Amino acid sequence: MPKKELSIEDIAGVGEKTAEKLRAVGYTDLMSIAVMPASDLAAIAEIGEGQAQKIISQVREMLDIGFETADRVAERKKAAARITTGSKNLDTILGGGVETQAITESYGAFGSSKSQLAFQLAVNCQLPVNKGGLGKNVLFIDTENTFSPTRVISMAKANGLDPDKVLKNIFVARAYNSEHQILLLEKAQEMVEEKNIGLIIIDSLTSHFRSDFVGRGELAERQQKLNKHLHNLQRLADAHNLAIYITNQVMADPSVLFGDPLRPIGGHVLAHQSTYRMYVRRGREGMRVAKMVDAPNLVEAEAVFKITEDGIRDPDYEPAGSTKVEKTEEKE
């Protein structure tokens, strides 16, 4: 006889109303409750923090959370899928594409094509699995007003997809400050299962944190909030086997006299939390160069790709029509 799947109602002390509140904000399974902070559960369920901690402890016992053998970890990782970028060169340094259960970060200067990759992934995620997609929909948090429906349409057409359908499957929200951005991610938890989400994009992750927290006096608070924001992203990726793609800004390091002075924003907090960290820059003759800076299972490597009318492609790709990319497409 198959083992009964546990639900929120199986938790002692959680009534129907509390279960409804948890489901309403996206906590639909026991694992998502097991890994959430007691303070968050207390606020959502409108209960004391002590009671919230008891509920979380009970869920952890029910799920038998603890150490496990590495072969079980390997088995779980086998469920991870990858989304093609449209460039075989770029896919190669990413280990096959943008991975689910992971955070992939790209950073670079204005016009380096971080946003272009975001648009391409939003389209490619909707491709069937046998064509390098997930067959799922996308959540797009736009912090810099860079989302371009026109660009998405051209990329969709190049992939043989219905542009109208592709646009309807991308759920876009404009974040106006860091608090709004954090709130939108909380809202995203409600939509992941309801809208069959396979990819969450934040373009860019650090823009509002950089402008809302100015000076050394506010640095600690900024990093603390950014750290929690990133952990929430990773929890979503793990709980729902989805991919996270974030773009990041850069700043010039005045102490660097020779070589590239650009450094990513976010400090060690972002560096440690990103599973895959990629530096993107302009190359010669309109090409782009992506360098895999950090990854747990990949070596440092570089890939050359280009931006075409059809989207992100390898250098030897020839579009059916004009190869000219409009100036608006360079906006990051």
**Residue 34, both tokens:** 């097991």
Question: What is the C-alpha separation between 69 and 39, in angstroms, rounded?
Answer: 31
Q: Looking at residues 135-158, what average pLDDT do you find?
A: 96
- Show the domains of the chain with their CATH numbers: 12-63 (1.10.150.20), 77-330 (3.40.50.300)
Query: Over the chain, what is the mean pLDDT?
Result: 87
- State how far the Cα of 203 lies from the Cα of 188, in Å rounded to an integer: 15
- Residue 56 pLDDT > 50: yes
* Per-residue pLDDT tens digits for 231-249: 999 989 998 999 999 999 8
Is 63 exposed, middle or buried (CB count within 10 Å of its CB: 0-12, 13-18, 19+)?
middle
Q: Average pLDDT in the 108-133 region? A: 95
End-to-end CA distance of the chain: 55
Percent of the chain with pLDDT over 70: 92
Which two three-digit tokens encode residue 117?
């990759």
Looking at residues 195-224, what average pLDDT do you find?
91
Bigger pLDDT: 189 or 209? Answer: 209
CA distance linking residue 181 with residue 158, whole number of Å: 32
For the cut 60, the answer to whether the pLDDT of residue 330 exceeds it is no
- What is the pLDDT, as a whole number, of residue 258? 79
Tokens of 69: 């053998």
The three-point CA angle 198-241-202 to 5° equals: 50
Residue 150: predicted pLDDT? 97
The model's confidence at residue 2, banded by pLDDT at 50, 70 and 90, is very low
- In sequence order, which residues have a C-beta less than 8 Å from that of residue 263 and are 6 or more positions away? 250, 251, 252, 253
Where residue 26 falls among pLDDT bands split at 50, 70, 90?
low
Q: Report percent pLDDT > 90 for the chain.
A: 52
Q: 190-204, 251-265, 295-309: lowest mean pLDDT where? A: 251-265
Q: What is the pLDDT of residue 199?
A: 97
pLDDT confidence of residue 321: 54
Q: Check whether 193 has a pLDDT greater than 70.
A: yes
Q: Which band of pLDDT confidence, cut at 50, 70 and 90, is reported for residue 5? A: low
Q: Which long-range contacts (CB under 8 A, 24 or more apart) does 258-262 make?
A: 262/108, 262/109
Q: Is the pLDDT of residue 327 over 70?
A: no
Q: What is the pLDDT of residue 323?
A: 45
- The 3-state secondary structure of the chain reads CCCCCCCHHHCCCCCHHHHHHHHHCCCCCHHHHHCCCHHHHHHHHCCCHHHHHHHHHHHHHHHCCCCCCHHHHHHHHCCCCEECCCCHHHHHHCCCCEEECEEEEEECCCCCCHHHHHHHHHHHCCCCHHHCCCCCEEEEEECCCCCCHHHHHHHHHHCCCCHHHHHHCEEEEECCCHHHHHHHHHHHHHHHHHCCEEEEEEECCCHHHHHHCCCHHHHHHHHHHHHHHHHHHHHHHHHHCCEEEEEECEEECCCCCCCCCEEECCHHHHHHHCCEEEEEEECHHHEEEEEEEECCCCCCEEEEEEEECCEEECCCCCCCCCCCCCHHHHCC
pLDDT band at 42 (very low <50, low <70, confident <90, very high): confident
Residues ≥6 apart with Cβ < 8 Å to 330: 111, 307
